[in-house]
Amino acid sequence: MKKILEVRNLKVHFELSSGLFKAKKVVHAVDGVNFNVFEGETLGIVGESGCGKSSLARALCGLNKITSGSALFNGIDLAKASSTQWDEVHKQMQFIFQDPVAALDPRMTVAEIIAEPLITLYPQMKQTEVMEKVFATMKLVGLSKNQVNRYPQEFSGGQCQRIGIARALILEPKVLICDESVSALDVSIKAQIINLLQELQQKLKLTILFISHDLGVIKHICNRILVMYLGNIMELGEKKTIYSNPLHPYTKALLSAVPVANPELEKTKVVQLLEGELPSPVNPPRGCVFNTRCPIAVEECRATRPIEKIVHEHSVSCFKVN
């Protein structure tokens, strides 16, 4: 498969404001991640809230500044991209936000919202061409052209998310980054949006980065899964192997908490509870960042950060996995 995005030792750090004579504190939101994204796949990025999923996604779209490392997309290093290069990136890579209502300007009509990226990046395009593309994109996501002059507050959450998807698709991108894009929706509407994304992926040959804390949704929509904890990658592999044979203790704990459809199996399954709270990204633990909550941690885990290694077709960061 063709590589469309190559991320190497990527870091996203934020400085916290402090007193005049106090040392500056730094949030290690993403702390040196390595992975590839391949054309046409859906890569799921999972982990607890605060693990760096959204910070990573926003950095890849230019919404957060990359502190160091590289992210190569179509020959452009996103860590060093100029504003002109970012315009080219945004034609090929678009972002779908978590809250579909908050992501839409209530003062703009549906037509204005969907057309905005097109008008911004292609200012010479004629108004008739713009509206033709708006109508075609609305049809693609299941919206009627007679809704074009309505405002976001007149729509349900699911319809607002369709508008957000249409806004992203108007530029005909190759990559969609979906940051918890269905978490704010109820179950039935969530299923509709997931099915829509899958249909669009097949029809438009899209590559999708799907960020979620919901492992049930991830299992349904993704080809490969990347597990993050405190800004680091714990495990990366094909969906089938991750779910059938998780290797990292953190992945095992996450998957053990997923409900099972069979009531009898649900009664007998063992949930691996993680003790303690997620450490602060301002002061991450030495060695393996998971060592403070890991049930099998040894002294080596507390002293040295593990290097990613390939075990049973997984990439895993753990000294205890062989």
pLDDT digits (tens, 9 = 90+) for 236-293: 999 999 999 999 999 999 988 776 666 666 566 666 778 878 889 999 999 999 999 9
Positions of the chain with pLDDT lower than 50, given as ranges: none
CB neighbourhood size of 177 (10 A):
25
Task: Find, among 30, 22, 36, the residue nearest to 52 by Cα.
Answer: 30
In this prediction, residue 62 carries a pLDDT of 93
- In the CATH scheme, what is the homologous superfamily, with its name and number, of domain 3-222? P-loop containing nucleotide triphosphate hydrolases (3.40.50.300)
The answer to whether 216 and 264 are in contact (CB under 8 A) is no
Side chain identity, residue 295:
P
Domain residue ranges in the chain: 3-222, 246-322
Beta-strand pair 207-211/175-179: parallel
In this prediction, residue 281 carries a pLDDT of 92
